[in-house]
Structure 1
């Protein structure tokens, strides 16, 4: 159905009016859901996302994105069919979580550093959860297991990389951004020169750059907070009118022949709308459900991201010509890949001795009962993943450059 269709206009109008009536009929539930969404945004999303958005804006103003663009060009082109600047989006997106990658991709598109097709490829596989959320909130907070955090992280980020390789085939005949000019100058020197030229071209003093970065970050976070609150209310309203229960029954009937335990239908439906609720529901499934199924659904939910995140990404991308549909297709494939990888890697990973030591459950009363040591472990794991990922990208780029310079095929 075209977005210009009068039928779509009528459906949107009727749906909005129905939501208004539900808000009036269930005003208390709506208020409590809005407060809950506001609390999640203020206590979790705002403090965890603000520093990353501010720093990413500052780094772009200082030309660091151009440094990555030159340094990672030999790796990003053949692997993901995006320019080297995509390496910066990967590093920041994987370490800071959704929807920071969409924000950075939009900025790159506005600056002309990526084409429309390259932006669609980039945002499709770099929109992921951050390691602190995956390991701290989901693994330790919901599943009470550090081992689960390592498994979820590996399946989540590895499937994202596989999705990026797969998505290099997206729009193969589309135009590409200008490749690097061939020169005998060493690649690191060229990267430093590109960073210096970009900083001079920006012309903003550091104080102005910081102020603009904070202002842009706050604007983005207020938008994110609005979506979180709205979808929190919508989810509670659907539960109040028993629409969620109906969808769960239908889903259990459809997925039953595929071997999916019916008890996990609740987590799938919750994760369809909001990633945190879906992951929590998967961890709270009955004990009769195999733990590998719980992990697979949780990994799929993390990779899907939820309609709330999709609405945030769509709002951010609306400032450019980057389409949302390739992103949604990428989220679906990412969820499927993550679930399949969980089943593939479950046996080998759980058999490792050093992981068995982390498999002892640490039963906690709730997510608010996490100790400082658990959060510190999750933070360390986040830093390790970010450092290792960036180092692998840099080493891979240098290796490709070395092989190319010596004409090794």
Structure 2
């Protein structure tokens, strides 16, 4: 109650201070705004907009319902979310933030998941895309493609651990029913074939209920995606200007000093303070600073800092997700806590696995693996992302099939 009373005046005071700083430093504000606009236009728009449109069209055609039924044996026991969450996880991991949040909000709007399931889902499907992690971070900022392996293991491994931990969130809350259980199974049909039939029926029923033509689905998908990508761009520009203003006011340097002192107390290099403070606000700035940190800083500390920043996501991503979740009933606080836990887990995994992974044969094998080399230099390639999406969905379907067969074997 107290926070609600003082939160409004503090926010108004902060915005008024930003306005004053913009009047004092108009040139720097304009340069920062143009820099944020360039990041949005050159990186975010071409990489995110196609996935926004594709995901909207898949929802219209019932593809999400198809994969939801097929992936239920995998997602429900592990993460306590319906099978449609498996599709959201694959899309979120391949295309990066905030696609997972967008799809989660869509599932919630269609009542395909409950509020608690939506909070579980968005908590572990918000991640960096592998093209950015392997290309921009490993090659562009750290100048070493082999480091992509340890970053990927720590970041995505930490995300899966967050998903398992989030299954404890709202344990007593009601769950959405498994369609393959509630639907009748045809006589002389195995449960595996029955699930496939149910999945196809769910897809057909979702397409029938939607009722829009191909042209209408595409038009609506483009309109909705344009609205969201413009919001994302506005937030990127806003935080770019905000960080510039904080730097001009001397606030950022004070934060560097404070965080550097805290890092020294826990045994980390204080030179990483700039990376962590920058990453608190914006991912790209933070991981770039981690890669450019002083050579005296041990490399495994730099990688751990980058893993934490990638998993935290930055306030810019948090604001994007909060704007998407607004009106869906999904709460922001569980998401924020999950991001912090993800960051700590990813940094811990990077430090624990540094010697066995970076110092072993895995790095040499990774460096000579053709797909790794192509991903590290592919930039924001839509084709590479779609290949990864197909690979993830195939692996998830295979695991779901194995779990279904094991369940049938135990019952038999």
TM range (shorter): over 0.9
Counterpart in the other structure of 2:65 = 66
CA gap of 1:408–1:345, structure 2 versus 1, over 3 A, is farther
Matching of residue 241 in structure 1 with residue 249 in structure 2: yes
Counterpart in the other structure of 1:142 = 141
Matching of residue 210 in structure 1 with residue 230 in structure 2: no
Question: Distance between the aligned counterparts of 1:343 and 1:14, measured in 2?
Answer: 41
The 8 Å contact of residues 135 and 375 in structure 2, kept in 1 or not, is answered as no
The 8 Å contact of residues 300 and 339 in structure 1, kept in 2 or not, is answered as yes
Q: 5+ unaligned residues in a row in structure 1: which ranges?
A: 361-370
The 8 Å contact of residues 145 and 359 in structure 1, kept in 2 or not, is answered as no
The 8 Å contact of residues 272 and 307 in structure 1, kept in 2 or not, is answered as yes
Counterpart in the other structure of 1:364 = none
Counterpart in the other structure of 2:259 = 251
Shift of 1:110: 0.5
Question: Distance between the aligned counterparts of 1:191 and 1:75, measured in 2?
Answer: 15
Aligned pairs, number: 398
CA gap of 1:93–1:372, structure 2 versus 1, over 3 A, is closer
Counterpart in the other structure of 1:198 = 206
Q: 5+ unaligned residues in a row in structure 2: which ranges?
A: 187-192
Shift of 1:54: 0.4
Counterpart in the other structure of 2:280 = 272
Counterpart in the other structure of 2:306 = 298
Counterpart in the other structure of 1:402 = 405
Match of 1:225 among 226, 233, 238: 233
Shift of 1:382: 5.0
Match of 2:392 among 389, 392, 395: 389
Matching of residue 346 in structure 1 with residue 347 in structure 2: no
Q: Which moved more, 1:386-395 or 1:337-346?
A: 386-395
CA offsets 1:147-206 (integer angstroms, 9 cap, x no match)? 111221121111101110010000111121123325435222211111111111110001
Question: Distance between the aligned counterparts of 2:112 and 2:334, measured in 1?
Answer: 19
The 8 Å contact of residues 151 and 303 in structure 2, kept in 1 or not, is answered as yes
Alignment of 1:95-244 (within 5 A): 95-180=94-179, 181-182=181-182, 183-185=184-186, 186=193, 187-244=195-252
Question: Distance between the aligned counterparts of 1:355 and 1:345, measured in 2?
Answer: 12
Question: Distance between the aligned counterparts of 2:76 and 2:291, measured in 1?
Answer: 39
CA offsets 1:113-168 (integer angstroms, 9 cap, x no match)? 00000000000110001111111111111111111112211211111011100100
CA gap of 1:121–1:271, structure 2 versus 1, over 3 A, is same
The 8 Å contact of residues 135 and 378 in structure 1, kept in 2 or not, is answered as no
Question: Distance between the aligned counterparts of 1:268 and 1:171, measured in 2?
Answer: 31
Shift of 1:64: 0.6
SS of 2:377's partner is helix
CA gap of 1:344–1:250, structure 2 versus 1, over 3 A, is same
Question: Distance between the aligned counterparts of 1:85 and 1:47, measured in 2?
Answer: 26
CA gap of 1:131–1:348, structure 2 versus 1, over 3 A, is same
* TM-score, length of structure 2 as denominator length: 0.92
Matching of residue 40 in structure 1 with residue 39 in structure 2: yes
Question: Distance between the aligned counterparts of 1:385 and 1:341, measured in 2?
Answer: 23
CA gap of 1:382–1:202, structure 2 versus 1, over 3 A, is closer
The 8 Å contact of residues 145 and 358 in structure 1, kept in 2 or not, is answered as no
Q: Which moved more, 1:178-187 or 1:286-295?
A: 178-187
* TM-score, length of structure 1 as denominator length: 0.93
The 8 Å contact of residues 99 and 126 in structure 2, kept in 1 or not, is answered as yes
